[in-house]
Amino acid sequence: MHSAHDIVRRAHNAESPLSIRPKYDVIVNRMRYRDIPQAVRTAGKSLANEPATQYIASAETGLLSGLRVWLVRFIRFVGYTHQRHAHTIENGIGVVVYATPEDSKHPGIVPSLCSAISKLGPREVAKRYSELGQKTAAMVQEAFGESIHDMYEIRGLIVSPKAQGRGYGKALVKTVTDVSDAAGKDMWLLTTNARSFYETIGFECVRTGTLGEGNPAWTQAPIELCIMHRRRN
């Protein structure tokens, strides 16, 4: 993706050869502020079964827990939209957000604000956020060392369940990898349950870890974390 242009992709659903196959116009645009409410709704539906999200959400309690989650997501989308680092399909039905090497050097106020809001919740939530952050940082350092500061990062990819299977995810990721390729930079990301998807579009898993294995309050199986890497083309 060249930053001044939209990308158009077409995908077909997988119906039988005898049926009429509708075409979906997959048009990727920069996200606008008016797309954010829909993006927040999409995040709620898309991430409902994502393991790391479940791990943290299961520790949420109280009447304001849903409001805190909504507010953090809203603020993050505002930040990425302001930076022009968010792209969308259908005005928030599919969204990808990313960070550049410059973002890691100058993170701005959004991460601090979101962290402060999250800390208003139960201590267990803050503990689990911290665990995820520390384990991710350790795996990233082990995999990339100082070169991490010269890489792009996909920080989020969501597609509404009703729109999955239309090629939205691939089109959104390609938009961002085109940006990193044009800049001559590698790209990385963290995933829990989408490793096979990213492997089909040029990423490879370079480090794995687990989340929740040492937490007595978590009674389910440990969650697998995977750091994925894509070399620039």
Say how far apart CA 136 and CA 139 lie, in whole Å. Answer: 5
- Decide if 209 is inside a domain: yes
Strands 204-211 and 223-230: antiparallel
Q: Render pLDDT for 1-10 as a digit per residue (tens, 0 to 9).
A: 444 334 333 3
Query: Is residue 140 included in any domain, yes or no?
Result: yes
Q: What is the pLDDT of residues 87-97, one digit of tens each?
A: 999 999 999 99
Q: Would you say residue 185 lies in a domain?
A: yes
The answer as to whether 11 is a domain residue is no
In a domain, 18, yes or no: no
Answer yes or no: is 65 within a domain. Answer: yes
Inside any domain, residue 8: no
What is the domain range of residue 149?
24-230
Q: What is the pLDDT of residue 23?
A: 54
- Please tell me the total count of domains within the chain: 1
- Taking each helix axis from N to C end, the angle separating 36-46 and 65-83, rounded to the nearest 10 degrees, works out to 120
pLDDT digits (tens, 9 = 90+) for 160-198: 999 999 999 999 999 999 999 999 999 999 999 999 999
Task: Work out the pLDDT band at 45, boundaries 50, 70, 90.
Answer: very high
CATH of the domain at 123: 3.40.630.30
Look at residue 3 and tell me if it is in a domain: no
Least confident of 35-44, 69-78, 101-110, 205-214: 101-110
